[in-house]
């Protein structure tokens, strides 16, 4: 049944209750006289599956909007059978839905079919399948009621001659609920950059980091919990070869092992072990975020390209088929593919995605470090969080020794709620120090929240050793968006978002021997909130958003020392992140005439991502 038809069905019942006491006989429409001819249903079904059910009906008069409720009655072992069920004592254990037709001509027979779900709250057992024609239906075309004739109401009730045996799944069915690549466009690697590099404390020999090459994936299992198994996730990149045939290169995945240590391997193995706190319950999804790394061979293949090259990125669950799945290995469910392009033009000119705070709008021509980083976790369809930050240090020299230098840092926290991007915090700072022109040596900083400047000031660096600037600032925020999400036939309006605290900490020190030290960074502590509402009088809904959206602290420290005899520079960027730990789910119900039907929908369930690291190892440069 389509959602629009189900919606009309709910409206019809609502109108009936509001208009109780109204008589269809005064509407000018003849009463219908419906009766069942036959029915059909399977003898077996599994919890969580849909089953094909049909009935054949007829009417002595033209009939608008034919509705047939389908219910289940547990056939007990104490002697109760389907033959004991009558219209007088009928009390369904479960109403699994309704069959519908817009019209039925007089004296014609009409077969109505539908795929109805055996929801997970139905216990296993043998059930009688019971059909009942609604006594009164709303007719939206004519805006009045059409009564059912009371002459043959016994024909409005039918117990199927075939019981259905409901059993449970014995095997899981793995699937990607969602998957996305943080960035699908990159500048191609160059041979000069082809030295092995990765993250601290990770064995990264013969692997190469590509900035922003990050995937977010949600993996689930239909109906059945995955217990005592290891689920693998693999990634590969298919790169066109010189002869036209593509070559597939396995990618390395950065992840935490069972002891919380970072590991780099060609497969991520998720051990479903309750002792470790790992689970994958039926009808739920788990979220993961990974940084991907290129092998030496893949790096070299891309570096050799002389034109923009489109490659295929493939994610695969259980590629070795080690888990026996309910419907067998399902390629559509277990595989996600993406197009990723590597650009040749401007490969050395990649700029920061953010608007940095810059003195005079210029930087010195000689660069020491220019690192920009951005990533995100989650699913922007519901909730997603992310960060961006960067550091740039440049200098100017006459002869062998630098005489001026610039240090620029920025940081930004991002949230997505129902695909709406929100920037609760942006911070930026720039310090410029010139030993030959102390008067022009300056420092500027600024804080923005939701695109509006909150704080900021410019200072002079002229003078002796001093604490030029020291600041700690925080602000409470609550931001969000709304979206309609369907739970079964119920359209639920959800208001959701993030609330918590954002802020900065920083200091600028002019120390002895011309040392300029800048410490600057954002912090954010934001959790999710959600509320739900429905417009239908016979339906209700609730949501739960128990999610850590973003806990982040990033302090970038840079030091500049310029003297007539020499100069030194240093920089480091420690980063502490915790994000997306918890779940976001929706519950809804509808009060049908003959029972209540409930739905529960897990929208997002994330294992949590925690990391403490230096974005890059502390670096020092000395001149001469």
Can you give the pLDDT at residue 24? 40
Q: How confident is the model at residue 209 (pLDDT cuts 50, 70, 90)?
A: low
Q: Which residues contact 463 (CB under 8 A, 6 or more apart)?
A: 510
Residue 19 has pLDDT above 50, yes or no: no
- Could you give the CA distance from residue 25 to residue 145 in angstroms, rounded to a whole number? 9
Paired with 10 in beta bridges are none
- Could you give the CA distance from residue 497 to residue 531 in angstroms, rounded to a whole number? 10
Residue 551 has pLDDT above 50, yes or no: yes
Query: Which of 150-154, 202-206, 524-528 has the least mean pLDDT?
Result: 202-206
pLDDT one-digit tens code per residue, 445-478: 999 998 888 989 999 888 788 898 888 999 999 9
- Could you give the CA distance from residue 428 to residue 250 in angstroms, rounded to a whole number? 38
Higher-pLDDT residue of 263 and 197 is 263
The torsion of the CA quartet 349, 355, 360, 361, rounded to 10 degrees, works out to 30
Q: Which of 74-78, 234-238, 352-356: highest mean pLDDT?
A: 234-238
Q: Which residues contact 576 (CB under 8 A, 6 or more apart)?
A: 551, 552, 553, 554, 611, 612
Can you give the pLDDT at residue 130? 94
Residue 283 has pLDDT above 60, yes or no: no
Pairing of β 252-256 and β 335-343: unpaired
Give CA separation, 401 vs 430, 439, 512, 620, in Å: 22, 20, 19, 15
> Are the C-beta atoms of 81 and 75 separated by less than 8 Å?
yes
Query: Which of 21-30, 493-502, 574-583 has the least mean pLDDT?
Result: 21-30
Helix (H, G, I), strand (E, B) or coil at 319: coil
Q: How confident is the model at residue 249 (pLDDT cuts 50, 70, 90)?
A: very high
Give CA separation, 531 vs 482, 544, 587, 601, in Å: 10, 8, 11, 15
Query: Which domains are delineated in the chain?
Result: 3-167 (2.60.40.10)
Q: How confident is the model at residue 36 (pLDDT cuts 50, 70, 90)?
A: very high
Higher-pLDDT residue of 226 and 36 is 36
Can you give the pLDDT at residue 222? 66
Residue 277 has pLDDT above 60, yes or no: no
- Could you give the CA distance from residue 517 to residue 510 in angstroms, rounded to a whole number? 7
Can you give the pLDDT at residue 227? 59
Entry field: residues in the chain: 624
3-state secondary structure 182-202: CCCEEECCCHHHCCCECCCCC
Comparing C-alpha atoms, which of 570, 568, 545, 581 is closest to residue 624?
Answer: 568
pLDDT one-digit tens code per residue, 487-507: 766 788 898 989 999 999 999
Percent pLDDT > 90 in the chain is 15
Query: Which of 17-21, 86-90, 330-334 has the least mean pLDDT?
Result: 17-21
Mean pLDDT of the chain: 77
- Could you give the CA distance from residue 257 to residue 265 in angstroms, rounded to a whole number? 10
Query: Which of 4-18, 239-253, 304-318, 508-522 has the least mean pLDDT?
Result: 4-18
Residue 53 has pLDDT above 50, yes or no: yes
Can you give the pLDDT at residue 66? 82
| Residue 276, number of CB atoms within 10 A of its CB | 11
Can you give the pLDDT at residue 352? 38
Residue 354 has pLDDT above 60, yes or no: no
Residue 8 has pLDDT above 70, yes or no: no
Q: How confident is the model at residue 226 (pLDDT cuts 50, 70, 90)?
A: low
Helix (H, G, I), strand (E, B) or coil at 617: coil
Comparing C-alpha atoms, which of 512, 523, 507, 356 is closest to residue 430?
Answer: 356
Query: Which of 220-234, 352-366, 436-450 has the least mean pLDDT?
Result: 352-366
Can you give the pLDDT at residue 327? 63
Residue 410 has pLDDT above 80, yes or no: yes
Residue 285 has pLDDT above 80, yes or no: no
Q: Which of 80-84, 342-346, 466-470: highest mean pLDDT?
A: 466-470
Can you give the pLDDT at residue 501? 92
Residue 182 has pLDDT above 80, yes or no: no
> In terms of C-beta density within 10 A (0-12 exposed, 13-18 middle, 19 or more buried), how is residue 314 classed?
middle
- Could you give the CA distance from residue 223 to residue 169 in angstroms, rounded to a whole number? 7
- Could you give the CA distance from residue 574 to residue 597 in angstroms, rounded to a whole number? 51
Q: How confident is the model at residue 112 (pLDDT cuts 50, 70, 90)?
A: very high
pLDDT one-digit tens code per residue, 584-613: 778 787 776 656 677 777 777 666 666 676
Can you give the pLDDT at residue 33? 78
Phi, psi of 582 (to 5 degrees): 145, -155
Q: How confident is the model at residue 250 (pLDDT cuts 50, 70, 90)?
A: very high
Section 94-120 average pLDDT:
86
Q: Which residues contact 290 (CB under 8 A, 6 or more apart)?
A: 214, 215, 217, 233, 235, 253, 254, 255, 268
Paired with 304 in beta bridges are none
- Could you give the CA distance from residue 461 to residue 516 in angstroms, rounded to a whole number? 9
Residue 150 has pLDDT above 70, yes or no: no
Can you give the pLDDT at residue 271? 67
Residue 3 has pLDDT above 60, yes or no: no
Can you give the pLDDT at residue 313? 93
Comparing C-alpha atoms, which of 138, 135, 132 is closest to residue 102?
Answer: 138
366-379 β-sheet, strand order = 366-379, 383-398, 401-417, 420-434, 442-449, 452-460
- Could you give the CA distance from residue 136 to residue 118 in angstroms, rounded to a whole number? 26
Q: Which residues contact 54 (CB under 8 A, 6 or more apart)?
A: 39, 40, 41, 99, 111, 112, 113, 114
């Amino acid at each position: 049944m389509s959602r629009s038809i189900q919606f009309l069905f709910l409206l019809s019942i609502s109108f009936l209750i509001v208009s109780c006491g109204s008589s269809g006989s005064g509407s000018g429409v003849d009463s219908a006289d419906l009766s069942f001819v036959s029915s059909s249903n399977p003898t077996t079904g599994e919890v969580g599956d849909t089953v094909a059910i049909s009935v054949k009906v007829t009417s002595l008069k033209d009939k608008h909007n034919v509705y047939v409720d389908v219910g289940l009655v547990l056939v007990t072992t104490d002697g109760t059978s389907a033959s004991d069920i009558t219209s007088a004592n009928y009390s369904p254990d479960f109403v699994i839905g309704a069959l519908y037709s817009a019209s039925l001509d007089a004296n014609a027979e009409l077969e109505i079919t539908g795929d109805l779900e055996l929801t997970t709250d139905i216990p296993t057992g043998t059930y009688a399948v019971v059909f009942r024609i609604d006594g009164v239906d709303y007719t939206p075309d004519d805006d009045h009621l059409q009564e059912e004739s009371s002459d043959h109401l016994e024909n409005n009730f039918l117990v199927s001659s075939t019981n259905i045996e409901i059993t449970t799944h014995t095997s899981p069915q793995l699937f990607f609920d969602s998957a996305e690549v943080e960035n699908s466009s990159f500048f191609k690697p160059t041979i000069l950059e082809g030295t092995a590099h990765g993250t601290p404390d990770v064995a990264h020999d013969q692997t190469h980091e590509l900035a922003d090459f990050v995937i977010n994936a949600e993996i689930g299992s239909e109906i059945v919990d995955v217990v005592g198994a290891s689920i693998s996730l693999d990634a590969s990149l298919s790169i066109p070869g010189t002869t036209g045939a593509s070559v597939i290169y396995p990618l390395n995945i950065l992840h935490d092992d069972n002891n919380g240590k970072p590991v780099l391997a060609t497969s991520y193995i998720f051990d479903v072990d309750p002792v470790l706190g790992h689970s994958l319950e039926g009808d739920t999804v788990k979220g993961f975020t990974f940084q991907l790394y290129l092998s030496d061979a893949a790096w070299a293949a891309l570096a050799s390209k002389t034109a923009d090259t489109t490659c295929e990125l493939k994610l695969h669950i259980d590629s070795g088929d080690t888990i026996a799945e309910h419907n067998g290995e399902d390629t559509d469910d277990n595989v996600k593919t993406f197009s990723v392009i590597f650009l040749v033009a401007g490969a050395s000119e990649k700029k920061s995605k953010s608007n940095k705070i810059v003195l005079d709008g210029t930087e010195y021509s000689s660069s020491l470090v220019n690192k920009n980083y951005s990533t995100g976790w989650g699913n922007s369809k519901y909730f997603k969080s992310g960060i961006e930050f960067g550091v740039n240090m440049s200098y100017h020299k006459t002869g062998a020794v630098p005489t001026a230098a610039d240090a620029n840092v920025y940081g930004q926290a991002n949230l997505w709620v129902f695909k709406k991007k929100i920037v609760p915090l942006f911070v930026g700072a720039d310090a410029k120090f010139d030993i030959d022109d102390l008067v022009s040596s300056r420092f500027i900083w600024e804080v923005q929240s939701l695109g509006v400047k909150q704080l900021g000031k410019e200072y002079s660096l002229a003078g002796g050793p001093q604490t030029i600037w020291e600041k700690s600032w925080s602000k409470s925020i609550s931001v969000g968006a709304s979206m309609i999400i369907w739970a079964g036939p119920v359209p639920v309006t959800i208001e959701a978002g993030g609330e918590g605290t954002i802020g900065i900490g920083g200091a600028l020190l002019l120390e002895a021997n011309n040392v300029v030290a800048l410490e600057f960074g954002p912090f954010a502590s934001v959790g999710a909130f959600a509320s739900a509402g429905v417009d239908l009088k016979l339906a209700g809904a609730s949501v739960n958003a128990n999610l850590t959206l973003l806990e982040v602290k990033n302090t970038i420290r840079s030091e500049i020392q310029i003297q007539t005899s020499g100069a030194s520079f240093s920089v480091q960027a420690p980063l502490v992140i915790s994000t997306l730990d918890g779940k976001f789910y929706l519950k809804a119900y509808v009060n049908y005439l003959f029972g209540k039907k409930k739905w529960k929908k897990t929208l997002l369930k994330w294992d949590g991502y925690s990391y403490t690291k230096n974005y890059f190892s502390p670096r020092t440069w000395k001149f001469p």
